[in-house]
Structure 1
Amino acid sequence: MVAGLLAAGLPASAFAQSEAPPEAVQDGARSSVGAEIRASVGGRLRDFYAPRGYWPLWVDERDIGKQADILLDLIRTSRIDGLNPKNYDLRELENLVEEARSSGGDPRLLARADLALSKSFAALVRDMRRPTKRVKMRYLDPEVQPRDDDPAEILRAAAVASSFTDYVRQIGWMSPFYKELRTAWVNFRVRWADLPDVAVSGDVKLRPGMKGQGATMLRRRLGLLEGSSYDKALVAKVRSFQADHGLKADGVAGPQTIEALNRPFAWYDRMLALNLDRARLLPGPWVRHVVVDAASARLWYYSGGRQDGTMKVVAGAKESQTPMMAGMIRYATLNPYWNVPTDLVERRLSRRILDGASLSELNYEALSDWSASARRLNESEIDWQAVADGRRQLRVRQLPGGSNAMGKVKFMFPNDLGIYLHDTPSRDLLAKPARHFSNGCVRLEDAQRLGRWFFGKPLAAESSEPEQHVPLPQPVPVYLTYLTAVPSGQGVQFLPDVYERDGM
C-alpha cells in the first residue's frame, strides 16, 4: 500500500495518517451520511471508506463540495488525456450531484453522490496515469515499473493531501510537466483551433506598419477583419500567437513565426498529444525523483510536493542518443575512471598514439579485457595499427583527474547501456543553447549541487583513490525522457526534434 501512495504522488508517511483517522473521522462514522455510506458501500471502495469510519470524501458539512465540480470539469475535458468522458459516468455524476445539492442535505442522496464521485475519480486517476502504447520507456527497476493502482490507494492518497480541493484542481497525482502541458493545451485549443487555414508567404519579414498582400494574408490567418495594414490589432494578435507558441513575442512575423503559422492545427494537436503521453510516464512531485529531458537538455529534481531545483545538461548527440529509460540512482562514484567507448578508441585515440603520443602522457591506460580483474597492459603489447583498422577492440580508460571526462563524480543507475549522470570539465558546451554532444550519458551543469540534494551534505572523496563508491541514503528514481512540446509561460514551446522521434 505504501508503494501505491508513492506512485500516487504522496509520501509514505501519509499512509499512516489515513489508517489512523482523527477524532473527526470517528464522529463522521456516526453521522447520517456516514451511516448511509456504510450501508451501501462495497468492493474496493469499502477498503477506502472503512478505515476512515465511512467519513464522506466529497461532502463538505451538509453539501457536495466544490471539489466535485473540479472533477466534473476534468472528466468533461478528458479527451485531452486520450480518454472518453463516457467511461466515467459523466451524465450520471452530474445528475447525482445536482440531485444531492437540491435535496436539502438528504443523507441518502449525499452518500450516493459521494460513492459515485469516488468511483469515477479512482478510475480517471488510474487511466490518466496508465501508459499508452505509442510511447516506449525502458524500465530498469521494479520500483519504477508502471502499475495499475488499487482504487482504495488512489483515494487514500487524495484524502490525506493537505487540501483535497487543491489536489483535484492541480491534478496532484500527475507530473508537473503533465498538468502544465495539459492546461496549456486546453487554452491552446480554445485560442487557435478554429483559425482559417490560410498560408502566409515567408518570402519577406512582415513588420508593423507594412501594407500589402503579406499583411492581408496574415490578418486572414489570424482571424482578423479584412484589410491590408499591419496595424495595432494585427501586432497584438501576432504577439499573442507568438507567446502561446513559445516564440519571442515581438509582434514581427519573421521566419519562425511564419513557419509556426503555416503548420496546420492538426500538427499541433498531434505534437501535444504525443508529448502529453510522454509526460504521463513521469511521477508526481511528492515522489522524490529526477527528470532529465534530452530534447531541451535540462534536468529537474523534486521532493515534498515541489521542484527543488533545475540545471542545464549536455545530452546525447543525434548519432548517440540519450535513451528514454527510468531506473534507480543507487550510488555515486567519486574520482571515477572514464571507460572510453571502443569506437572512440578506434577513431580518435589510436590515431593520436600512431602520431607519436603515449597513453601515459594523455592520462589513459589500456586493460586486457572488460572484467573486474583485467590486467593493465604495457603500451608495447598493443598493436595500435590493428586497433585503428578495427581489427582489434581495446579497453581503454581515462584516469581520474582534472581533465577526466567524468569530472569528479558520476551518479549510477545500473543499466547495460552504460548511461549515467556525471560531472564534466567541458564547461563551454553548457553555455550553448543546443546541448547535444555526449555519447548518450548526461553531463551535469552542477554535479556538486545535485550531490548535496542526493546525500543531504557536500559530497567529497576521502582520498585520491580512484572509483570510490558511495551508496545513496535512499535510492532515487531517475526518468530520462524526450519532451519536444513543453509549457512556456501561458503557452507551449515546440522544440526541435533532434532525435527524429516525433514521427514514430
Structure 2
Amino acid sequence: MIVLAALAAPAVQAAAAQPASPVATAARSSVAAEVRAQAGGRLRDFYAPRGYWPLWIEKDRVGPQADALLALIEGSEADGLRPRDYDPRGLGRLIEEANAGSDPKALARAEVALSRTFADLVTDMRRPSRTVRIRYLDPEVEPKTPEPSEILRSAALAPSLAEYIATVGWMDPLYMRLRHARAVYREDWGSLPAVAVPGNVRLRPGMKGDLVPVLRHRLGLSDGVAYDKALAARVKAFQTAHGLKADGIAGAQTLAALNRGPSWYERKIALNQERARLLPGPWVKHVVVDAASARLWYYDGGALDGTMKVVVGTKETQTPMMAGMVRYATLNPYWNIPPDLVQNKVAPRILGGASLTRLNYEALSDWSANPQPLAQSQVDWNAVAAGQQEVRIRQLPGGSNAMGKVKFMFPNDLGIYLHDTPQRELFARSARQFSNGCVRLEDAQRLGQWFFGKTLKPDSDAPEQHVPLPQPVPVYLTYLTVVPVGDGVQFLPDVYDRDGMDG
C-alpha cells in the first residue's frame, strides 16, 4: 500500500526502546498500565502490540518530541489547516500537568492525547484536496486514509521522533520545499505594500519621475525619486523570484507581475502545495514528472536519487495529471504515430511522393496486438489526409525512431509513457513543451539503470522486447507552476492554463 510506505521510515530500532535503569523501567511500566486503561479505539491497535509502552514519555517526563508537535501545529496554516482544530493550548496544559509531578495517570493522559492529535494532524496533511484533479491508473497509487496505528507505528520507527516531526518526514520533499518556500516568500515579498504601479510605462535605471517613488514604495525601499542601483537590484530580485527576465527594467511584464499583489502569489503557492500533497512520502520509491517546469525527479530510501530534464506535451497536446505504476520497459520500441499526425503530417508526405519504406514506417490493418501489414497502395491517402479514413502507421525501431531505444510503460488508455528520444537539441531549451503528451527523457539509460539496477540491453535487433520490472514503481505526472529554488521559490508560466487564476 502506497500510503503505508509513504509514512514508513527505515526499519531501525524503535524510539521507545526500554531504558536500562530498573527504577525507570518500573516507573514507565506504571505509565504503560495507565495507557492501557486510557487508550481506546484505534489507538489500542498501536499500543497493544508494544505492551502499551509510551511513545512520548522519556525519563518520567514528556519528551522534546511533544515540543516538535506543538510547533508543527502552530505552523499548520502553511498546510492549509487551522491550528486551533488541534487544541495546542489543551495539549500544552496536559504536558505541564504531566511534567509537574510525574504522576502516571497524568503522563498517560498526555501520552494518549499526543498520539491522537499527531494521528489526526498527519491524516489531515495527507488528505488530498478536492480542488486538484488527478487520474489514478492503479489502485496502488490511489490515496488511502492511513489508520492511526500505521501513522504511529511509522513514527515509532524513526531514529528520532522529534526530528521526524520537525521535518514532517511523512510528506513528499517537493511538498516540504514548497511549504518552506511559502514562508520565505511571505517574509521576502508578502509583507510589501500592495500598491498599484501604472502598467503603461517602462521604467529603467537612471530615470526619475513621479512613478519611480511608487515603484520604490511597492518594493519596500526608502523614499526617493531616482531609479538607482538599489532599485534596479530590487527589481532584478523580484524578476528572478517571479520567473521573469532579470534585467532590472520595470517593463509591462514586470509591472503586471507586481500589480497582482502578494496575496495572489500566496494563493498560487497554496494551489501548487495541494498538487504536491498528492505525491507520496520520500520512503516510497517513485518518479515525479512536472509538466510545467519540464523536469523529472526520482526518489528512493528517503532521499532524492536524481533529476533530469524532460520534454512534455504542448499546450494543444498536454501531458495529463495522472499517476500509475511503471511495470515494464520496452526495448527497440515501435512508435505508433497518433492519428492526427498521420492525417496532417504523414499522408501529405506520401501524397507528395514519399514512401513508407524510406520513412521507416509501416501501415497496419488495425490497432490489435496482431495486425496485418498493408501495402502503401492499399491505403486511400487522400481520404486519410481529408480525415475521412483512419489508418494505423507505426515507425520501425532504429536510430531515427521517435521513441529512441527504450520506453517505460505505465499502462493507460491515453498512450502516455516515458521514453528515450533522438531529438537531443530540445533539452537545451528553457521551455520544453514540444511532445504529443508523452514524456521524453534527457537520460533514459540512467533512469533505466535506476529502475532495474542494471544497464538495459536488448537481446537482439528484434522490435518490442518487453522487460518486466520486478517491483513496479509509481510515477506521478503533475503540474507545478511554482517550484522551490534554493532557499526561495520561482513562479513559472501557466503554459496549460490550469491554474484558473486571473491576472
Same fold (TM over 0.5): yes
Contact kept, 8 Å, 1:9 with 1:285, in 2: the verdict is: no
The amino acid of 1:83's aligned partner reads L
The amino acid of 2:138's aligned partner reads D
1:432-462 CA distance string (max 9 Å, x none): 1100010100000000000000000101101
Match of 1:70 in 2: 68
1:223-271 CA distance string (max 9 Å, x none): 3333223456545654654565456777654555433322122311221
Contact kept, 8 Å, 1:246 with 1:491, in 2: the verdict is: no
Equivalences for residues 229-308 of structure 1 within 5 A: 229-231=226-228, 234=231, 237-238=234-235, 241-242=238-239, 244-245=241-242, 253=250, 256-308=253-305
Match of 2:434 in 1: 437
Given the alignment of the two structures, is residue 397 of structure 1 paired with residue 394 of structure 2, yes or no?
yes
Aligned residues: 498
Equivalences for residues 321-360 of structure 1 within 5 A: 321-360=318-357
Contact kept, 8 Å, 1:297 with 1:315, in 2: the verdict is: yes
Match of 1:370 in 2: 367
Q: Aligned equivalents of 2:237 and 2:391: distance in 1?
A: 57
Match of 1:82 in 2: 80
Between 75-84 and 116-125, the greater mean CA deviation after superposition: 75-84
Between 448-457 and 68-77, the greater mean CA deviation after superposition: 68-77
> 1:96 and 1:238, CA in 2 relative to 1: closer, same or farther beyond 3 A?
farther
SS at match of 2:374: coil
Given the alignment of the two structures, is residue 187 of structure 1 paired with residue 190 of structure 2, yes or no?
no
Per the TM alignment, residue 167 of structure 1 is displaced from its structure 2 partner at its CA by 1.2
Match of 2:44 among 40, 43, 46: 46
Q: Aligned equivalents of 1:249 and 1:392: distance in 2?
A: 51
Q: Aligned equivalents of 1:111 and 1:250: distance in 2?
A: 61
Match of 2:481 in 1: 484
> 1:371 and 1:328, CA in 2 relative to 1: closer, same or farther beyond 3 A?
same
Q: Aligned equivalents of 1:346 and 1:328: distance in 2?
A: 32
Contact kept, 8 Å, 1:197 with 1:221, in 2: the verdict is: yes
The amino acid of 1:128's aligned partner reads M
1:384-422 CA distance string (max 9 Å, x none): 111111111000100000000000000000000000000
SS at match of 2:470: strand
> 1:66 and 1:209, CA in 2 relative to 1: closer, same or farther beyond 3 A?
farther
SS at match of 1:287: coil
Q: Aligned equivalents of 2:388 and 2:449: distance in 1?
A: 45
Contact kept, 8 Å, 1:4 with 1:154, in 2: the verdict is: no
SS at match of 1:361: helix
Match of 2:125 in 1: 128
Between 182-191 and 464-473, the greater mean CA deviation after superposition: 182-191
The amino acid of 2:63's aligned partner reads G
Equivalences for residues 457-468 of structure 1 within 5 A: 457-468=454-465
Given the alignment of the two structures, is residue 446 of structure 1 paired with residue 446 of structure 2, yes or no?
no
Between 382-391 and 92-101, the greater mean CA deviation after superposition: 92-101
1:254-307 CA distance string (max 9 Å, x none): 555433322122311221121111000001111000000000000000000000
Given the alignment of the two structures, is residue 314 of structure 1 paired with residue 311 of structure 2, yes or no?
yes
> 1:186 and 1:89, CA in 2 relative to 1: closer, same or farther beyond 3 A?
same
* Identity level (%): 65
Contact kept, 8 Å, 2:3 with 2:280, in 1: the verdict is: no
TM-score w.r.t. length of structure 1: 0.92
Contact kept, 8 Å, 2:175 with 2:273, in 1: the verdict is: yes
> 1:233 and 1:360, CA in 2 relative to 1: closer, same or farther beyond 3 A?
closer
Per the TM alignment, residue 78 of structure 1 is displaced from its structure 2 partner at its CA by 2.0
Match of 1:6 in 2: 5
Contact kept, 8 Å, 2:328 with 2:409, in 1: the verdict is: yes
TM-score w.r.t. length of structure 2: 0.93
Q: Which runs of 5+ in 2 are unaligned?
A: none
Per the TM alignment, residue 88 of structure 1 is displaced from its structure 2 partner at its CA by 1.5
Q: Which runs of 5+ in 1 are unaligned?
A: none
Q: Aligned equivalents of 1:110 and 1:302: distance in 2?
A: 39
Q: Aligned equivalents of 1:135 and 1:216: distance in 2?
A: 41
Match of 2:54 in 1: 56
Per the TM alignment, residue 214 of structure 1 is displaced from its structure 2 partner at its CA by 3.2
> 1:432 and 1:240, CA in 2 relative to 1: closer, same or farther beyond 3 A?
closer
Please tell me the root mean square deviation across aligned C-alpha atoms, in Å: 2.4
Per the TM alignment, residue 113 of structure 1 is displaced from its structure 2 partner at its CA by 1.6
The amino acid of 1:185's aligned partner reads R
> 1:440 and 1:366, CA in 2 relative to 1: closer, same or farther beyond 3 A?
same
Q: Aligned equivalents of 2:381 and 2:356: distance in 1?
A: 11
The amino acid of 1:86's aligned partner reads R
Contact kept, 8 Å, 1:412 with 1:421, in 2: the verdict is: yes
Q: Aligned equivalents of 2:238 and 2:310: distance in 1?
A: 30
